[in-house]
Amino acid sequence: MSTQYGSQPTGQQHASTSNVLSIIAIVLGAVALLFLPIVFGAIGLVLAIVAKTVRRERLSTVALVVSAVGLVGGMILGALVAGA
């Protein structure tokens, strides 16, 4: 008689079902377009990298792109506004 209560993990790493770090990184990337892109964009990139490499979240690629665009786009937008 076999039960499921004491089953051990098989050693395979599965993709995380929660996308918490990815969602936070997406929000930070969007905020970085308008406010402190170096701070929010960099934190978003770090969270997205952790979500992709360590936790293997599904939305981590989207989070990487949004964070990078927020970082670079926010710096460009800030330079255009400061030069005007």
In a domain, 59, yes or no: yes
* The token pair that represents 18 in the structure block: 């929660």
In a domain, 43, yes or no: yes
In a domain, 79, yes or no: yes
Helix, coil or strand: residue 64: helix
Q: How many domains does the chain divide into?
A: 1
Which residue range(s) make up the domain with 50? Answer: 20-83
In a domain, 28, yes or no: yes
Q: Of 54, 47, 42, nearest to 20 (Cα)?
A: 47
Question: pLDDT, tens digit, for every residue of 21-31?
Answer: 999 999 999 99
Question: pLDDT, tens digit, for every residue of 3-55?
Answer: 566 555 555 555 657 899 999 999 999 999 999 999 999 999 999 999 999 99
> Under a CB-based contact definition with an 8 Å cutoff, are residues 22 and 57 in contact?
yes
CA 47 → CA 15, 22, 28, 41, distances in Å?
16, 7, 9, 10
- Reported pTM: 0.77
